[in-house]
Structure 1
Amino acid sequence: MTALILFTDLDGTLLNGESYAYDAALPVLQTLQQRGIPVIPVTSKTRAEVETLILQIGLTGPFVTENGSAIYIPRDTCPFALPEGEDDGPYRVVALGVIYVMARAGLKAIAQELGRPLKGFGDLSVEQVQQLTGLSADDAHQAKMREFTEPFLTPKNTPPEKLTAAVESMGFKVVVGDRFSHLIGGAAGKGVAVHQLVELYKPTFPAGEDIVTVGLGNSPNDIDMLENVDRAIVLPGTDGPHPQLSDRGWAIAPQPAPEGWAMAVNQVLAEFPD
């Protein structure tokens, strides 16, 4: 027998990249729940954003926020022994990244190192975040409720290698994106979070049962997750898969999210029948 654990990004992966629709994924999510297969969001979103979504789609397990900076484990529905961490509301929180004030200070130091201003979410109003992202006012407000990381506007005319070097010299990591980049703590990362969760889930499966991890993502900030699962699946956009993910030998879902997510996961389920 084989046990599956499914890790999924949200925007552009489980959710449509433009409308944020997810209806097409709901029947598959129900099947996963019926089969007892963990579905773990691994996202750049904040806790506030993820809480709103999982309430809508019915997920009750752990989730990973802010590009692998924290693992939130609902204590009442946790299937494994709770790891060390801080209790916050209904969650045991395993913090992997730095606190937000350190990320903000790091961004300022990196800007000085580069000799140019860097504008983070903390410098933007809710209205400005709305204009840049297309989010609603409520969603933009939740996106600004950061606890560990600072998204910032990717500086134009600065080579990604130069930006990365400046970030790493300050002890941080950066996920460089087309529009936004994300400054995260040096010990954080989606891959780190994936490995910790797999170790936590292992004792919940029968002894000797193989564990296959599946990861679904659509953008460069998912690479760390996709490199650390057994089966990586890339969700394309309307113009195809992101160039940084298209030539790595990973499976490409047949359609964009959420239809493509549902089709790709159903194919995996067919390979590993209950």
Structure 2
Amino acid sequence: MLVVSDLDGTLLDHHTYSFEPAKQALTELAHRNIPVVLNTSKTRTELVQILSDLQLTTPYIVENGSAIYSADGQQCDVLGKPREVLLKALDQAREQGFSFQSYRDFGLAGVIEHTGLDQAAAEASLAREFTEPLIWKGSAKQRSSFVHWIQAQGLQCLEGGRFLHVMGRCDKGVAMQRLIKTYYPENEGPVVALGDSDNDTAMLARANIAVCIRPASGERLAPATRGTIIHTEAFGPEGWAEALNDILKNR
């Protein structure tokens, strides 16, 4: 068995970023030698501290499937596009009249305001390598045009829990499959994936057991998968623990 998890709104509380309610389940997974792999929109810099806090020593996926890092961070398999390419495209998008604010515009103070992170965590979040999160400022019709324009540049927009992410054509599902093939080729048990946002659907669709954490806002996910789908009643880490405890009881 292998557990692959999103962070914000899933293993971490959407508002406080706490994982306290999931600690017991994490301990039980470690006791059973079941790996927990993080698959997140966060940056590599953010993951270094979070992995330490969670006491995880597993490979991980950053920035919505853009890159896979070995547990020690020394090996990197890049699937996405460099941030410089994205920023150039966004400059051109502004020239086309599209209205948005991205991380580059926010600066440190803006990231703190929009995310609720403390200064150190916000600085780590700004260390983007492969994605550019943004907040849309135009109409819904203009947003649709923007998404199509970005696609025409060979890129994509992916909806997360807080931001619209501009990135290369990769996703959490493809990255998860590649990570398993590279680091866990002998895994014979089910792959359990947990997520709460649209950017998690590709990962959930490729899992044997897809755990759809009740989202802090918006509709529940409905991934297209042949596997088992579990919808939690609780939010965030409470829902994470709820689902994993039930799954472990049946093993």
Settle same-fold status: TM greater than 0.5: yes
Could you give the per-residue CA deviations for residues 65-116 of structure 1, whole angstroms, max 9, x where no partner exists? 00000111125xxxxxxxxxxxxxx421111111111121122223334x22
8 Å CA contact 2:196–2:212 kept in 1: the answer is yes
Using a 3 Å threshold, how does the CA distance of structure 1 residues 19 and 179 change in structure 2: closer, same or farther?
Answer: closer
Partner residue in 2 for 1:260: 239
Letter in 1 for 2:147: T
Alignment of 1:198-237 (within 5 A): 198-205=180-187, 210-237=188-215
Using a 3 Å threshold, how does the CA distance of structure 1 residues 178 and 218 change in structure 2: closer, same or farther?
Answer: closer
Could you give the per-residue CA deviations for residues 182-237 of structure 1, whole angstroms, max 9, x where no partner exists? 01112x211110110221245334xxxx4311111111111121122121111114
Partner residue in 1 for 2:80: 97
8 Å CA contact 1:42–1:68 kept in 2: the answer is yes
Q: Please, which runs of 5 or more residues in structure 1 have no aligned partner?
A: 76-89
TM-score where L is the length of structure 2: 0.90
The answer to whether 1:243 aligns with 2:219 is yes
Alignment of 1:49-64 (within 5 A): 49-64=46-61
SS at match of 2:214: coil
Partner residue in 2 for 1:86: none
Q: Where is the helix percentage greater, Structure 1 or Structure 2?
A: 2
SS at match of 1:253: strand
Tell me the matched-pair count: 247
Shift of 1:13: 0.2
SS at match of 1:123: helix
Using a 3 Å threshold, how does the CA distance of structure 1 residues 150 and 54 change in structure 2: closer, same or farther?
Answer: same
Letter in 1 for 2:231: I
Could you give the per-residue CA deviations for residues 15-38 of structure 1, whole angstroms, max 9, x where no partner exists? 111111111211211211222212
8 Å CA contact 1:154–1:177 kept in 2: the answer is no
The answer to whether 1:120 aligns with 2:117 is no
Q: Please, which runs of 5 or more residues in structure 2 have no aligned partner?
A: none
Partner residue in 2 for 1:152: 134
8 Å CA contact 2:4–2:194 kept in 1: the answer is yes
What is the rounded CA distance, in whole Å, between the counterparts of 1:22 and 1:118 in structure 2?
A: 32
Using a 3 Å threshold, how does the CA distance of structure 1 residues 27 and 195 change in structure 2: closer, same or farther?
Answer: same
RMSD, aligned CA: 2.0
Partner residue in 2 for 1:110: 93
Using a 3 Å threshold, how does the CA distance of structure 1 residues 234 and 104 change in structure 2: closer, same or farther?
Answer: same
TM-score where L is the length of structure 1: 0.83
8 Å CA contact 1:154–1:179 kept in 2: the answer is no
* Alignment counterpart, residue 176 of structure 1, candidates 134, 159, 179: 159
SS at match of 1:175: strand
What is the rounded CA distance, in whole Å, between the counterparts of 2:12 and 2:162 in structure 1?
A: 19
What is the rounded CA distance, in whole Å, between the counterparts of 1:213 and 1:264 in structure 2?
A: 14
8 Å CA contact 2:99–2:136 kept in 1: the answer is no
8 Å CA contact 1:220–1:244 kept in 2: the answer is no
SS at match of 2:70: strand
Identity percentage over the alignment? 32
Letter in 1 for 2:82: I
Shift of 1:179: 4.8
What is the rounded CA distance, in whole Å, between the counterparts of 2:161 and 2:67 in structure 1?
A: 24
